[in-house]
Amino acid sequence: MDTTKTSPAGSLGLRTSWASAPYPVVLADRAGTVVELNTAASAVFSALSAGDRLRDRVPSWLADAHRRVSTERSGQRSDREPAHGPSGGRVGDRSYEAHATCGSDGDVVWWLVDDTDRRLAEEALHGERQRTSFLAEASNALLSSLNVNRCMEVTAQLAATHLADAAVIIAPGKGRRHPMTSCVGSGEVVRSIVDIDTTSMPGLSEALQGFPPVPSRWIDPASAPEWVVPEEMDGAVGSVVITPLPGHGTPGGALVLLRTSGHTAFSEDAEVFARLFAARAGAALAAARMYSEQSSVTTTLMRELLPPSLHQVNGVEFAGGYRASGQSDRVGGDFYDVHPGAGEDQESLAVLGDVCGKGLEAAVLTGKIRNTLHALLPLADDHARMLRLLNTALLNSHHTRFATLVLASAARCEDFTRLRVTSAGHPAPLIVRRDGSVEEAATAGSLVGVLRTIKSTTTTIDLAVGESCLLFTDGITEARGGPLGDEMFGESRLREALGECAGMPAEAVVERVQMLAADWVGRGVHDDMAVVAITTPRPDVFSAMTRGAAGRRPA
Amino acid sequence: MIVSTTERPGRGIDPGVYREQLWTALRDGDEYAAAAAVFEGLENGLGAERILLEVIAPAQGRVGEEWAANRMTVADEHVATAINERVIAALAHHPAGRVRPDRGRVTVACVEGEWHSLPARLLSEVLRLRGWRVDFLGAHVPTPHLIAHLHRTGPEAVLLSASIPTHLPTAHAAITAALAAGVPVLAGGAAFGPDGRYARSLGATEWAADARAVARLLHDGLPRPDPTAMHLPIEDLPHLADQEYTMIARTRAELVRGTLAGLEIRFPPMREYTARQRRHTAEDVAHIVDYLTTALYVDDVRLFTTFISWTGDILTAREVPAHTLGLTFDALGAQLKDFPRARALLDQGRATVTDSPHIPIPGNGKPA
């Protein structure tokens, strides 16, 4: 509106043309008394007529604005428009901007412009922006964790801070027992398991079964059972929204939003918005549930494939270490096992091997080989025969992979350990003597799973106290890295490292070798790596203690 | 993690006696005597936590010092550590060490590449004694395994241990990932600096100097990370935008090779080195490059100069002829002309060398 430029200087009066202008115009004098008003203005201020005091007949924002403008005018006596911008406010259910034009005699013409629609649009935009930013924030927060409990906590927190006075999530349960997560305002999240009848709360069992939500206005807030209202909630429940959390194929649970009676009830908009939020929370919870189910399946299956933890058996120390090739893999194509001998003087059988290939598929075959060898244990006094039977079993299986392995039977004699060692196409074990010299076990043989007939030679080795025999896979010796980046770790480095391991306990030998190989590789890629050390411990080792009791040195 | 060696006031028993006994046993590699020392202390009422923190931890600390001073071999060190591990395991099974967990669940893990797991193990036992349900993941935990574990178990906090500073970039990745998974991170161990300064710059929720400080922080409760933050690692370390870290870390092998060639020109006796000496020189140069890279990562010259003076001490203890490390810095610096931050670090390193005349050229000793 550019009306001010056309306003005459000096005495103001509503000319006929203005009197019929489509915008409300009011002329008032310095004292705030109405001089004239046009037809449009009379339509807005129905009770107003010339001679009335503004203060008595128009909303106070306009009366105040008039007083302000008049006071300023009397101070500076200028023809220009006042320095401050237009005033604005409501008249009934509409809102107006009021522009003032001042005359030199102190009269002021008020031009009113209806801005109701703009204001409503701005409010809607502001609300929409807030919701969008909340939903974006909610998505970020919900995406962060794949832990079901954590996800429910975040959902409860977000809902209680942004959507209601309190939020309660009821997860699908077993029978009557349901995990419940609740949060009041920005307070602590409380988790509990409740024993409930879901039909005791109107709308809840429908939501838990995934039926469309029951409108909030149908739910009597007084009917909300005691268990759903968090203790920390201040005041009686005034309104309730129950929204299903979509589970995407899994049962999702329900989100209950509560407002106290002091707070405005949920509008239809708020209900729709709660559903938008619930859709996101439900998706995040479904992902977390799926992940936890998958990971528990994986953990169970993996348990059989993971290398066992080794310890001392019948006076012989065994230790093993494993590192799979993939950063996130836990199992691979290398494997080891120790089968304890039945009695004190019986041999225990250690096995270490390498199946062609990497990852889960190779690991599945290692499981098969480990099981087969377990079944063949009674034949362990003849390694060659054991390997022949394993070879036949592998040839007859549908797997096309082959394997190399080492068998080592160990029994403690007086002050040494007697080992029988057989390699089937595998790098020969290394033996570190008390004086730090390192030798290779004189054994060789064919790999298993390829040829109809296989050959192998078994060698006998005696380990004195403090001496160790190291079984390892080529993942160690062929590890590439080092200071120059692309060198192989190699057998000579392994021998040098092992030379320093004379007199060490088995687990220290394993740790040392693993550490050197890992440092060698650095952040580079590597194959699966497995090591097993068999060591003759000092006679005074408190083997009884490692099994739990505070042992006493034999007298 | 460095564990406290301070004695608690008002308790009559002196752990010093058992500490000495344990130390002697460790030095002799006598597992039985080691166990006897610890169990005697326990039976005399020293309490399992004090045994862990005031007997075993300081004895283990001394193992490291003795190794640095060349009074213990690598093998001795491993033997002593293995014995301590077994003693801790036995202690956990002792009736006095059995505690029913009545507090939340926490995860303890060493950063990937970190093999010094004993401090983390001691911490796990202390927390277990205080009623926490502890998942101890051990040494060298790949970050994907750690994060998978956090998603699966949803612990109240993860306690991340690292002793060697060159693991800081890996630690940073683990810290960021754990926070993104909604789990607060408590960092500890020598790698994070004497005052935990790197724990803070890498965005860890808290840092603790010792096991008791960890217990206190857990008791008070750690704040959950803001799940809406959507934090990126670069935001912690804006200086990484200059790409110096990235480019030097990625060309590590070439830098080592170039430095060795440069050293041979600057230090003629090196041409007569045996294959073994050459290998050790290459390893030492690689170490210097690794520390240089890490110092660039955290943008702190102290990380580099501390390492340089430490290396000097180690080499001196091994009676390596005193030459100057400066030649190595020259050879390295010649290849880093376009990297102002790296060159500034090398200048500071050179100043450190000049200040202590005993620092020799790397190659004849083995600093790790």
- One-letter amino acid at B251 equals T
Same domain, yes or no: A24 and A86: yes
Same domain, yes or no: B227 and B198: yes
Decide if A466 is inside a domain.
yes
Same domain, yes or no: B186 and B108: yes
pLDDT of residue B335: 93
Interface test with B, best of A143, A144, A152, A538 (most B CBs within 10 A): A144
Which of A203-217, A284-298, A428-442, B61-75: highest mean pLDDT? Answer: A428-442
How far apart (Å, rounded) are the C-alpha atoms in residues A508 and A541?
15
Same domain, yes or no: A286 and A412: no
pLDDT of residue A14: 58
CB proximity under 8 Å: A 21-50 to B: none
The answer to whether residue A413 neighbours chain B at the CB level (below 8 Å) is no
Place of tokens 């001795």: B76
Domain span at residue A151 reads 121-298
pLDDT of residue B356: 59
Confidence of residue A551 (pLDDT cuts 50, 70, 90): very low
pLDDT of residue A376: 95
Same domain, yes or no: B215 and B314: no
Which tokens hold the place of A525? 């890629």
Decide if B363 is inside a domain.
no
Question: Are residues B151 and A512, on separate chains, in Cβ contact within 8 Å?
Answer: no
Question: Are residues A519 and B94, on separate chains, in Cβ contact within 8 Å?
Answer: no
The CA-based angle B188-B191-B196, given to 5 degrees, is 55
Nearest CB to B140; choose among A518, A538, A551: A518
Same domain, yes or no: B223 and B245: no
Q: Quick: pLDDT tens for A399-415.
A: 778 899 999 999 999 88
pLDDT of residue B11: 57
**Residuewise pLDDT in 10s, chain B (368 residues):** 444 444 443 357 889 999 999 999 999 888 889 999 999 999 888 899 999 999 999 999 999 888 888 888 888 888 899 999 999 999 988 887 788 899 999 999 999 999 999 999 999 999 999 999 999 999 999 999 999 999 999 999 999 999 999 999 999 999 999 998 989 999 999 999 989 999 999 999 999 999 999 999 999 999 988 877 767 778 889 999 999 999 999 999 999 999 999 989 988 888 888 888 888 889 889 999 999 999 999 999 999 999 988 887 777 776 655 455 778 888 999 999 999 999 999 999 888 876 655 545 444 443 33
> In the predicted model, what is the mean pLDDT of residues A150-158?
92
Length of chain A: 555
pLDDT of residue A509: 94
Question: Are residues A147 and B286, on separate chains, in Cβ contact within 8 Å?
Answer: no
Same domain, yes or no: B202 and B224: yes
What are the beta bridge partners of residue A349? A339, A409
**CATH code, A539:** 3.60.40.10
Residue of higher predicted confidence among A261 and B296:
B296
How far apart (Å, rounded) are the C-alpha atoms in residues B360 and A86?
81
**CATH code, A264:** 3.30.450.40
CB proximity under 8 Å: A 237-266 to B: none
Q: Are A436 and A499 in contact (CB under 8 A)?
A: yes
Query: What residue of A is the nearest CA neighbor of B151?
Result: A147
The structural domain count of chain A equals 3
How far apart (Å, rounded) are the C-alpha atoms in residues B186 and A472?
36
Length of chain B: 368
How far apart (Å, rounded) are the C-alpha atoms in residues A326 and B142?
10
Residue A511, pLDDT > 70, answer yes
Q: Which of A60, A85, A114 is the last residue of a domain?
A: A114
| Chain B residue numbers touching A483 (CB-CB < 8 A) | 253, 256, 282-283, 285-286
Interface test with B, best of A145, A188, A290 (most B CBs within 10 A): A145
Interface test with B, best of A302, A546, A552 (most B CBs within 10 A): A546
Decide if A554 is inside a domain.
no
**Hey, how many other C-beta atoms are within 10 angstroms of the C-beta on A343?**
9
Going from the C-alpha of A485 to that of each of A214, A482, B255, the distances in angstroms are 66, 5, 10
Range with the poorest average pLDDT among A20-34, A179-193, B4-18:
B4-18
pLDDT of residue A358: 80
pLDDT of residue B213: 96
Same domain, yes or no: A355 and A482: yes
The CA-based angle B158-B160-B161, given to 5 degrees, is 150
Question: Are residues A145 and B282, on separate chains, in Cβ contact within 8 Å?
Answer: no
Residue of higher predicted confidence among A391 and A331:
A391
Question: Are residues B85 and A507, on separate chains, in Cβ contact within 8 Å?
Answer: yes
pLDDT of residue B7: 42
pLDDT of residue A211: 83
Same domain, yes or no: A173 and A279: yes
Same domain, yes or no: A377 and A496: yes
Q: Quick: pLDDT tens for A461-501.
A: 999 999 999 999 999 999 999 988 889 999 999 999 999 99
pLDDT of residue A3: 42
Q: Which of B98, B132, B148 is the last residue of a domain?
A: B98
Residue A224, pLDDT > 80, answer yes
Residue A246, pLDDT > 90, answer no
Question: Are residues A518 and B148, on separate chains, in Cβ contact within 8 Å?
Answer: no
Nearest CB to B142; choose among A327, A484, A508: A327
- Residue A242 contacts by C-beta under 8 Å, 6 or more apart in sequence? A201, A203, A204, A206, A207, A213, A214, A219, A254, A255, A256, A257
> In the predicted model, what is the mean pLDDT of residues A443-455?
93
DSSP H or E run through A317: strand A317-323
Domain span at residue B278 reads 241-355
pLDDT of residue A357: 83
The answer to whether residue A485 neighbours chain B at the CB level (below 8 Å) is yes
How far apart (Å, rounded) are the C-alpha atoms in residues A504 and B72?
13
Decide if B168 is inside a domain.
yes
Nearest CB to B79; choose among A144, A503, A546: A503
Residue of higher predicted confidence among A92 and A80:
A92
| Chain B residue numbers touching A550 (CB-CB < 8 A) | 35, 39, 90, 94
Nearest CB to A546; choose among B73, B86, B139: B86
How far apart (Å, rounded) are the C-alpha atoms in residues B150 and A125?
40
Residue A554, pLDDT > 50, answer no
- One-letter amino acid at A80 equals R
Question: Are residues B90 and A546, on separate chains, in Cβ contact within 8 Å?
Answer: yes
How far apart (Å, rounded) are the C-alpha atoms in residues B278 and B264?
10
pLDDT of residue A18: 76
% pLDDT > 70, chain A: 92
Which tokens hold the place of A70? 């008049």
Decide if B77 is inside a domain.
yes
DSSP H or E run through A355: strand A348-355
**Hey, how many other C-beta atoms are within 10 angstroms of the C-beta on A186?**
8
Same domain, yes or no: B218 and B247: no
Interface test with A, best of B228, B252, B280 (most A CBs within 10 A): B228
Q: Which of B41, B73, B98 is the last residue of a domain?
A: B98
Question: Are residues B152 and A551, on separate chains, in Cβ contact within 8 Å?
Answer: no
The answer to whether residue A554 neighbours chain B at the CB level (below 8 Å) is no
**Cα distance from B33 to chain A (closest Cα, Å)?**
9
Query: What residue of A is the nearest CA neighbor of B38?
Result: A550
pLDDT of residue B68: 80
The structural domain count of chain B equals 3
pLDDT of residue A553: 35
> In the predicted model, what is the mean pLDDT of residues A122-131?
90
Which tokens hold the place of A51? 């001679």
Question: In this prediction, does ipTM exceed 0.90?
Answer: no
Decide if A538 is inside a domain.
yes
**CATH code, B81:** 1.10.1240.10
Decide if B365 is inside a domain.
no
Residue of higher predicted confidence among A95 and A211:
A95
Three-state DSSP class for residue A64: helix
Decide if B366 is inside a domain.
no
| Chain B residue numbers touching A288 (CB-CB < 8 A) | 151
What HEC string does chain B produce? CCCCCCCCCCCCCCCHHHHHHHHHHHHHCCHHHHHHHHHHHHHCCCCHHHHHHHHHHHHHHHHHHHHHCCCCCHHHHHHHHHHHHHHHHHHHHCHHHCCCCCCCEEEEEEECCCCCCHHHHHHHHHHHHCCCEEEECCCCECHHHHHHHHHHHCCCEEEEECCCHHHHHHHHHHHHHHHHCCCCEEEECHHHCCCCHHHHHCCCCEECCCHHHHHHHHHHCCCCCCCCCCCCHHHCCHHHHHCHHHHHHHCHHHHHHHHHHHHHHHCHHHHHCCHHHHHHHHHHHHHHHHHHHHHHHHCCHHHHHHHHHHHHHHHHHCCCCCCCCHHHHHHHHCCCCCCHHHHHHHHHHHHHHHHCCCCCCCCCCCCC
pLDDT of residue A386: 96
pLDDT of residue A215: 85
Q: Are A367 and A357 in contact (CB under 8 A)?
A: no
Decide if B151 is inside a domain.
yes
Q: Which of B236, B257, B272 is the last residue of a domain?
A: B236
| Chain A residue numbers touching B83 (CB-CB < 8 A) | 505
Nearest to A273 by CA among A72, A154, A436, A130: A130
Residue of higher predicted confidence among A79 and B365:
A79
pLDDT of residue A76: 58
| Chain A residue numbers touching B285 (CB-CB < 8 A) | 483
Same domain, yes or no: A354 and A294: no
Decide if B218 is inside a domain.
yes
